[in-house]
Chains A and B, each alone.
Chain A
């Protein structure tokens, strides 16, 4: 009985030692990975630093203006090109719409009863 008891303890001890060794090995492996990752982060940060500088360089306003001038048919927005929605003229009616419109009004301009008025407000159109 006593012998089994000692044997059991020895096995527990061996197990513990094995576990500790394995744990230590795993930690070392992870530390290696961590170092590798940190090196990678540094390398990436350096790459980002360079790429940001390059991005800024490529975005020189002069260059963009030159490219836009060559490839886009855009010009500086002049004030007269900006207009408020309320200032827009009404769309010209097509002939059919004109006929339909005439059908809604009596010659004196009053709306024929039961017909909707033709003009709607801007909000209703939207």
Chain B
């Protein structure tokens, strides 16, 4: 490019494009207008772009500083702990009150086959039948030869079975991981814990009642049951059942203070790991679903009612020489004493006649409302679904009042009796029973049914039954057991069968401060030589109570204490003196 004008200085400044700067602008500079406009425009564009970029970088820089330096509220101060995984078994464990596992879910392998991948179904069937002997070879062969691409061979193998199937190395056999419900204690808790089926659905007991909860959570469900209590009770009941060739037995241990069920046993029982092998007889829960006429055990309630409502005092009594005739019935005593009996004696010797007199003083309405307060007229309150409805007389006539006073004509479950007796001896408060563990010191809201004073009297009376009355076989020295025997003829086709009976015993211990209520019942015991042919509550069920308490006492750290019977013995002396005075007056 050549300069068109002479420059005033020797070395004019030029732009890289060859345009001279600081040039004296001549008037005809306007001739270069186009060039200047282009230049100006270029400059402006450059400036704008520069500003835009600078802004963008400033924003990014600012953001970087913001991210790096400034504090953010939602940021953790330290690196957060990575959430640790949890084994999802699909069904929570069930444990006893001390954390012993009663039901758990274990991973297992289920064997399935894809017949399309099997080269030799015949050989595979033969080999499998050798390893899994419970499978039928012909049936297996048929399955493996089918045209499906999926057949179950056997579900939920044991690890050993899985290993031996794996060792066969047959292509076309596969394992599917599955979870299986397992009950480590087998037939110890079948009626309370219940069982869950193949697809982990609860079928009975707690497994059914808390099905949603168990399926939803991972936290083990803590029951009120205690495996040591359960074992002692189940074993002694089974021994008594075998001893007296009985058809069944049931027992309950209840915490008298808060209604927790510590043991609940029903015999015959079954193994919840193999529920299919159990028939209805074994699955039947006699302790909660079974409804029985309980016999003389009900005299506890009649006596408590008469004492609490003031119809009688411990100094009163009745002449028991004459049987009571009402309607077409004659009410007699099982072992008649044939004299005037004081109230403590009526209770101790289990006099039907005396008890009926007490009930008649109260009348039908009072009796019915008292039994209702004790919860004996409706289904028992417990979490499981297997609860029986009491069978009430309808209509409730005077003759029913009489027979119910000594435990005939009203059928309830063993749980009803245990719960009501707990209310009688724990100071007079009826509480709901529960299978779930309560917190330490927690007492569910109860309802007062009798006064503290009556409860105290009833404890003395129940202690007398064991020390001097029909329940002497239940006495475990040092543990202050008090209770009441019960023997009821079973109603077979509308008639009472003489030789088929329910022998029961309900007890509390220790009687000076009752902690536990134990109920034991044996269904259709047969008398034997050692018991002089007797198969009554006092001979069959009372020894069960004694042995259970003798086993539990040391476990509970209870110190066996002699004595403690002063109050009840005084009561007995007074009652006997009273009876003697009547005897003399009568002669």
Interface residues in chain A, defined as those with a beta carbon under 8 Å from any beta carbon in chain B: 34, 38, 41-42, 45-46, 49-50, 52-57, 59-62, 65, 76-80, 82
Contact = CB atoms under 8 A, between A and B. Distances in A.
Contacts of A65: 231
B479 A38 contact: no
B101 interface: yes
Interface stretch (B139-147, B423-431, B456-464, B552-560): B552-560
B478 interface: yes
A50 B106 contact: yes
B553 A49 contact: no
B85 A34 contact: no
A46 B101 CA distance: 15
Contact of A82 (B87, B89, B560): B560
Interface in B437-495: 476-479
B182 A53 contact: yes
Contacts of B185: 56-57, 60
A49 B227 contact: no
B550 A78 contact: yes
A50 B479 CA distance: 40
Contacts of A45: 85-87
B587 interface: no
Contacts of B87: 42, 45-46, 49
A104 to B, nearest CB: 36
A61 B265 CA distance: 15
B126 interface: no
Contact of A49 (B85, B89, B479): B89
Contacts of A52: 101, 104
The binding surface of chain A is classed by DSSP as helix
A94 to B, nearest CB: 33
A56 B101 contact: yes
B85 A41 contact: yes
A54 B185 CA distance: 10
Contacts of B559: 82
Contact of B231 (A42, A50, A62, A79): A62
B231 A53 contact: no
Given A52-B101, A55-B101, 13 more contacts: A41-B84, A45-B87, A49-B106, A52-B104, A53-B182, A54-B184, A56-B100, A56-B104, A60-B186, A61-B228, A62-B231, A76-B554, A82-B560
Residue of A42, A46, A56 ringed by the most chain B CB atoms within 10 A: A56
Interface string B369-407: 000000000000000000000000000000000000000
A67 to B, nearest CB: 14
A48 to B, nearest CB: 8
Interface string B534-574: 00000000000000001101100001100000000000000
B578 interface: no
A79 B85 contact: no
Interface string B223-234: 000011001000
Contacts of A49: 87, 89, 104-107
Contact of B550 (A41, A56, A76): A76
Nearest to B96: A56
Given A80-B477, A82-B559, A61 B104 contact: no
Contacts of A41: 84-85
B476 A79 contact: yes
A82 B89 CA distance: 47
Residue of A34, A65, A78 ringed by the most chain B CB atoms within 10 A: A78
A62 B107 CA distance: 26
11 contacts: A38-B84, A38-B85, A41-B84, A41-B85, A52-B101, A56-B104, A60-B184, A60-B186, A77-B554, A78-B550, A79-B560
